[in-house]
Structure 1
Amino acid sequence: MVALPVAVVTVLGLPLALQRSDEALRELAHARATEARQLSSAAVQALSHGEREVLRQRIADYQDRTGGRAHVFNARGRSVDGALCLLSPDELAQQNVVRAALQGQFTDSSDRRVAKAAEELIVAVPVIHGGMLVGVVVVCSALDDLQLKQWTIWAVVAVIAALALAASGFLAEPLARWILRPVRYLEAAARRFAAGDHDARVPVHLGPPDLRVLAETFNHLAEQVQHQVTVQKSFVSDASHQLRSPLVALRLRLENLEPHIAPDGSRGLEQALGEVDRMTGILNALLLLARAESGAQAVECVDVRAVAEERVASWRLVAEPRNITVTIDGEGDLVASAVAGTVDQVLDVFLDNALRMAPPGSTVQVRLVEDTAMVAVQCIDAGPGMRPDERARACDRFWRGARAAGEGSGLGLAIAASLARANNGHVLLQEGPGGGLHAELRLPARGPARAERRPGALLQKSRG
């Protein structure tokens, strides 16, 4: 904010000071030229009739009155009479303004009649008598007064510039706050909106008019996007609800056909029932995803250990026929701030994926850890794991890895990630210690137990 006033003062103040200094020089030159013309009548008498006493008296009077010195040259450039300037008569005759006057030039252009030499201002005026050039009157004036005037001009401009800069510096901070405050509001609202808070809006009465228009435009855009997202979520939810009844009816009809199906058609019936079950699973997942993204459910304290132990006990029934062991370990009571059912559903997704990928005879580990801010539920399997590019896409909707072999809907991890985001948490996928997949849910901690944990415990334990 200060650079702009400095540039403005420099661009405006410097030319102004130069212009005023040049005007002072021209004014002094004009005054000396007028005085030289007044001496030209006496110079005519001296040059034409040899009456030098009158000329000397006029030159002496001029010197006493103005402090300047005058000298007269004849048409050949030879000194006739006058007071000595700082330059000798021969040096004075060689000055451009004197030589121009000896050529009879009557121009008022300062570059021909005015020259700075030895700290003097030299003005030369041709003397004309009977239409003929008879000589030149040269006036020499010290530049002390001119320099004082020029320094005064520069001092005044400098003071004005300093006052302008001081005023701009004093006003810069409140002006910057006035301009940037709506920008900060806009940035914060954009971040919240990008994070999923579609209710984020910007005040429209702050800042310059252009920023107010920008705020109104952002709010209008946010309302349009929010409306479209709401319509999309409503469509997914309504469509899922409407399709569940036909699918249930279709399954019942297929089951009722079983007694009437020939033995060689039983395989096809089983495949049809499997597709119906798969479609039902996708619809249930879409409903769960729509509820997770609605963000309308109340947050409460969740006993993570109790939920995890209950879900592990249920999934052990699935793991035992495949000779897979599911273990759970962790310290203390873990309480998270989340919507009821979040930990259950996310852990179900983790365990479902782990048991489908883990080889027989392996172990699936569920770990519960906590630090001062977060509670983590980790699920580590000994399966083939995922490549880094697969882990980057694993939470996309309907994405399935190359090893899925047609299993699953591709919505499990997407639902888990949406549930985590809705609770100010996140899902982390990384390579497990044995090359399998390490899936982790992190949620904000809640309760007195977290205050007793030392910072960094979560990261240290998760790496163990």
Structure 2
Amino acid sequence: MTRRITWTLLVLTSVLLVLAVVPLAVSLTAREHVAYRDSQRAATRVIAAAAEEHLSDKKPPTVMRQELDAAARAGDCAAVYDAAGRLVASTPCTAAQGEEAEELVEAVLAGHEPEPPELEGSLLAAEPAGEVRRPTGAVVLARSAGPLDARTMAIWGWSATVGVAGLAASALLSVRLARWVSRPLSTLDASARRLGEGALDARAEVGAGPPEVRRLAATFNTMAARTEALVHGHRAVIADVSHQLRTPLTALRLRVDVLAAEAEGDTAAELGAAQEEIARLSRLVDGLLAVARAEQATPRPTAVRVDEVIAERVAAWSPVAEEHGVRLAAASEGPALSIALGAGHLEQILDNLIANAVEASDAGGSITLGHGTVRGMARVFVRDDGPGMNDEAKAVASRRFGNPEARGTGLGLAIVHRLVTVNGGTARLEDTPGGGLTVVLDLPLWPEDGHGWNEA
């Protein structure tokens, strides 16, 4: 943002400076040129007035010579011509003579006002001696263009200096303004990223930047504080519920176990059924608590090797799968992938999916785990050849108790969905070719340079 603001202001300032300084410099240069020309023509008229006295009044050329000497001392070259265009007198230098000067004299003697040419390094001016329409002669004065060029260069030099100084001042102010605006926004962005990664104590600085940014930071801090209070409150409730439910369930199970050990006949059968219901209730409580924890999770992503976790979970669950007569295996190894996931979340996700698949598969079935990459995301799948699900069951499978036909608690896919989505991924259910269910997870890849997640 700092760079964009700075460049925008610099471009705007540059355009304004060009639109203001260049026309001003052009105007001053034109005025200087006109003033220089007027001064040259005035000096030419003075010599022409003295030449008229000599050419028309037949007075001695003393005054004319004095004016020519004065022009020579000033660095000008002048020449006086009679009505026939013949050279009468001139300064020692010959810059006022030649073809261009003769053409000017011819035009002046014809009663015209020619546009004086600009020769290399000098400017020519011509004036009639006497009346314009019936002149008795003409005067040509050549003046060096050096002083005019020096003044023109000075004008453009000062204009360039003003432009550069204005641009430098604009750059300094642009950078300061951009930092004043963007620095608190960057801090707010970092705080929001830390909050999203699970640092519930992340707060933004509210004492810097424009009033709108300060208000935004204050609002963010209020939201973060409320989020922290809600999360901590939910965690406390989960802990209390876990303690309050598990303790009486454990005591109840122990008492029923004692009674079942001494019972016989129908009483033993009834107590056995009660033990199964208590065990089911315990699993249900554990599942609900797991879902609640997943919903309240605010993970800080870490680099997780997918191939290693899959190999570990296959090794851990293979004995359980063998007891059910199910073959559990990993697909042919793809490239080693690292994903950005909360610590332990991939293990918990795979445990729930494998448990569901084992429960759903019949003896002789198979379960396959694999991974790959699709469109910049890591893809993990768990495929079984069990009975599968119809479209209605798939639509509600991620809800608590969404599948009424589930053999377990019906909470496994709900836990998976919460853990996947809280880590920025997606989960969906597909039919396995030939029958069965495939759970497809798309999870964010860990940046190759190792930056971008735990920077805060």
Q: TM-score range by the shorter chain?
A: 0.5 to 0.7
Contact kept, 8 Å, 1:204 with 1:213, in 2: the verdict is no
Alignment TM-score, normalising by the size of structure 2: 0.52
Contact kept, 8 Å, 1:364 with 1:382, in 2: the verdict is yes
Query: How many angstroms apart in 2 are the aligned matches of 1:134 and 1:201?
Result: 95
Query: How many angstroms apart in 1 are the aligned matches of 2:116 and 2:181?
Result: 53
SS in 1 for 2:352: helix
SS in 2 for 1:141: strand
SS in 2 for 1:94: helix
Contact kept, 8 Å, 2:196 with 2:298, in 1: the verdict is no
Contact kept, 8 Å, 1:72 with 1:80, in 2: the verdict is yes
Contact kept, 8 Å, 2:77 with 2:96, in 1: the verdict is no
Whichever residue aligns with residue 416 of structure 2, its letter is: A
Task: Decide which moves more: 38-47 or 181-190.
Answer: 181-190
* Offset at residue 177 of structure 1 (A): 3.9
Query: How many angstroms apart in 1 are the aligned matches of 2:400 and 2:102?
Result: 98
1:316-335 deviations in Å (ceiling 9; x for gaps): 6xx85x6335689xxxxxxx
Task: Report the equivalent of 2:354.
Answer: 351
Matches within 5 A, 1:73-84: 73=81, 78-79=85-86, 81-83=88-90
Contact kept, 8 Å, 2:185 with 2:213, in 1: the verdict is no
Structure 2, unpaired ranges of 5+: 1-5, 242-279, 301-308, 331-340, 371-379, 449-456
Determine whether 1:362 maps to 2:365: yes
* Offset at residue 439 of structure 1 (A): 7.0
Residues 188 and 127 of structure 1, relative CA distance in 2, 3 Å threshold: farther
Whichever residue aligns with residue 122 of structure 1, its letter is: L
Query: How many angstroms apart in 2 are the aligned matches of 1:226 and 1:98?
Result: 96
Query: How many angstroms apart in 2 are the aligned matches of 1:396 and 1:43?
Result: 115
Matches within 5 A, 1:102-117: 103=111, 114-117=116-119
Residues 343 and 150 of structure 1, relative CA distance in 2, 3 Å threshold: closer
Matches within 5 A, 1:8-407: 14-51=22-59, 53-54=61-62, 56-73=64-81, 78-79=85-86, 81-83=88-90, 85-86=94-95, 88-95=97-104, 99=107, 103=111, 114-129=116-131, 135-158=137-160, 177-189=179-191, 191=193, 202-207=204-209, 209=210, 212-214=211-213, 216-217=215-216, 220=219, 289=291, 291-295=293-297, 323-324=325-326, 346-347=349-350, 349-355=352-358, 358=361, 360-364=363-367, 380-383=382-385
Q: Percent identity?
A: 22
Residues 12 and 297 of structure 1, relative CA distance in 2, 3 Å threshold: closer
Residues 285 and 160 of structure 1, relative CA distance in 2, 3 Å threshold: same
Contact kept, 8 Å, 2:197 with 2:299, in 1: the verdict is no
Contact kept, 8 Å, 1:382 with 1:436, in 2: the verdict is yes
1:69-100 deviations in Å (ceiling 9; x for gaps): 233456x78355342653535422435x9847
1:40-79 deviations in Å (ceiling 9; x for gaps): 32133234224361453144233233111233456x7835
1:281-301 deviations in Å (ceiling 9; x for gaps): 8x9988865543334899xxx
SS in 2 for 1:49: coil
1:308-365 deviations in Å (ceiling 9; x for gaps): 79x959976xx85x6335689xxxxxxxx9799x688645531344236545313447
* Offset at residue 34 of structure 1 (A): 2.1
* Offset at residue 28 of structure 1 (A): 1.7
Residues 395 and 32 of structure 1, relative CA distance in 2, 3 Å threshold: farther
Contact kept, 8 Å, 2:77 with 2:95, in 1: the verdict is no
* Offset at residue 115 of structure 1 (A): 3.7
Determine whether 1:416 maps to 2:416: yes
Residues 66 and 224 of structure 1, relative CA distance in 2, 3 Å threshold: same
Residues 148 and 339 of structure 1, relative CA distance in 2, 3 Å threshold: closer
Task: Decide which moves more: 1-10 or 219-228.
Answer: 219-228
* Offset at residue 379 of structure 1 (A): 8.3
SS in 1 for 2:354: helix
* Offset at residue 218 of structure 1 (A): 7.0
Contact kept, 8 Å, 2:47 with 2:68, in 1: the verdict is no
Query: How many angstroms apart in 1 are the aligned matches of 2:291 and 2:203?
Result: 25
Residues 384 and 313 of structure 1, relative CA distance in 2, 3 Å threshold: closer
Alignment TM-score, normalising by the size of structure 1: 0.52
* Offset at residue 145 of structure 1 (A): 2.5
RMSD: 6.3
Query: How many angstroms apart in 1 are the aligned matches of 2:351 and 2:198?
Result: 24
SS in 2 for 1:78: coil
Whichever residue aligns with residue 95 of structure 2, its letter is: L
Contact kept, 8 Å, 1:59 with 1:70, in 2: the verdict is no
Whichever residue aligns with residue 34 of structure 2, its letter is: R
SS in 1 for 2:364: coil
1:100-133 deviations in Å (ceiling 9; x for gaps): 796465xxxxxx7554123211233455549965
Whichever residue aligns with residue 60 of structure 1, its letter is: L
Residues 145 and 361 of structure 1, relative CA distance in 2, 3 Å threshold: same
